[in-house]
Structure 1
Amino acid sequence: MSTTIAVIGATGNMGSAISKSLSKGNYHLLLNAKDETKLGAVLGDIKKGNPAANVKTFDYSANASWEADVIILALPYGAEKEVAQRIKGIASNKIVISISNPLNETYSGLVTSPDTSAAEELQKLLPDSKVVKAFNTTFAADFSSPVIAGKQVDAFIAGNDGQALQTVSELVSTSGFNPIIAGELPVSRTLENMAALLIGLTIKYNYNWVAGWKVLHN
């Protein structure tokens, strides 16, 4: 049986990139977004590239989440709380992926305090869910170019549940990246700071939003 994945916020840059990448795998995708016209366009793009893709759209995040095994919140940090409250009752025991980076208005740092992260805050909002941090250190453009300068981009993952981490690692791999399990959920503080640094470097050195992290080792 294929894993069912709900992507909440599927029309954003990251949400659409994730959706299109995962549509290539053996998954049942449920896509949700506020703008139904844009959502239909994402669905059309997926079907055009892969007519056999197992994907459909929903007009309400709770409906999309109901039958999902994995819920990806492809949302800005500021939108997570509202959606978490909406899906809390049906997200129990499910994997919920936080991709957000709580950046300040100037992209110079994070609005969260050093002793927490967006993912940890989401875990408090969804205490019965298995929150995993993933996809936050990759740019949307990287999904179509996951190999940069001859190196496969690493995508870091953090969470407290071992089986959830393995499941998310498979999603990351399907998306074209090299998955690295970085540690338990508090490690997401570091991952969110890594994203802020990469964004700052991209702006400073004009990487054209095709950039990523790579751990080089023997």
Structure 2
Amino acid sequence: MSTKQTIAIIGATGNMGSGIAKSLSKSNNRLLLFAQHEDKVQALVDDIKKNNPSAEAEAIACPINASWEADIIILAVPYPAEKEIAAKIKDVANQKIVISISNPLNETYSGLITASDTSAGEELQKLLPNSKVIKAFNTVFASDFATPVIAGQQADAFIAGSDAGALQTVAELVQTAGFNPIIAGDLAVSRTLENMTVLLIQLTMKYNYNWVAGWKVLHN
């Protein structure tokens, strides 16, 4: 990416959070990493710097401080935790890009717990009315970050949001992470993207894709 961004990753030590952090650390961005267990965050920072000594990554003890310093905030937390985090960061996330990666799955992975006329992305936007909420990284698996090229094809990663500038910025981030970004539409398209992940999980379990699987739009 050309412009250096400060990116806060809340929930940085989870499978998705650490995958995103490691991928984005290859760029010239500054990463502020937060999770419940500080020792795990520090271990992640050490791991990132071992692989890339020039990477700018630091452990931050408080999600509010991390978000206050950041240009972009990535909520790498499960859907039920988004509400609590949103309440904490609401004031410091004003006019900032907030990325929703969650899929509001039910316990059996047979569907979503959100109503059909909304999505995790849209619910987060309601909680953060003055932020630019973008849906991204929810259609890829955590292990895809290490393997974004699957069976010779670069996995597509879909993005939805209602702010054109924010979409472009996030598309560049998705590219930095190794995926082919596809801007799918406004934030309401999150409903489709979240359902796509339900299907991908079901297919992965049924056909044993080993959790390295993704979507690819073939076109001429």
Aligned alpha-carbon RMSD (Å): 0.6
Could you say which residue in structure 2 is the equivalent of 1:88? 90
Q: Tell me how far 1:196 sits from its aligned partner.
A: 0.6
Query: TM-score normalised to the size of structure 2?
Result: 0.98
> Any idea what SS the aligned residue of 1:30 has?
strand
Supply the AA of the counterpart residue of 1:147.
V
Taking the aligned partners of 2:38 and 2:111, their CA distance within structure 1 comes to 33
Q: Describe the superposition over 1:10-53 as per-residue Cα deviations: whole angstroms up to 9, x where unpaired.
A: 00000000000000011011000011111111111101100100
**Partner residue in 2 for 1:200:** 202
3-state SS of the aligned residue for 1:109? coil
What whole-Å deviation, never above 9, does each CA across 1:105-144 have from its counterpart, x for those lacking one? 0000000011000000000000000000000000010001
Residue identity (%): 71
Partner residue of 1:21 out of 2, 14, 23: 23
1:178-197 equivalences under 5 Å are 178-197=180-199
1:36 has 2:34 as partner: no
- Report the 3-state secondary structure (helix = DSSP H, G, I; strand = E; otherwise coil) of the residue aligned with 2:138: coil
Where do 5+ consecutive residues of structure 1 fail to align?
none
Alignment of 1:64-213 (within 5 A): 64-213=66-215
Give SS of 2:26's match.
coil
> Across the two proteins, how many residue pairs are aligned to each other?
218
**Partner SS state of residue 71, structure 1:** strand
Which consecutive aligned stretches of 4+ in structure 1 deviate over 2 angstroms post-superposition? none
Q: For 2:64, what is the secondary structure of its paired residue?
A: helix
What is the rounded CA distance, in whole Å, between the counterparts of 1:197 and 1:17 in structure 2?
21
SS at 1:104 equivalent? coil
Once the 2 structures are TM-superposed, how far is the Cα of residue 57 of structure 1 from its aligned partner? 1.0
Structure 2 match to 1:10 = 12
Of 46, 52, 55, which aligns to 1:53?
55
User: How far, CA to CA, are the matches of 2:47 and 2:82 in structure 1?
Assistant: 26
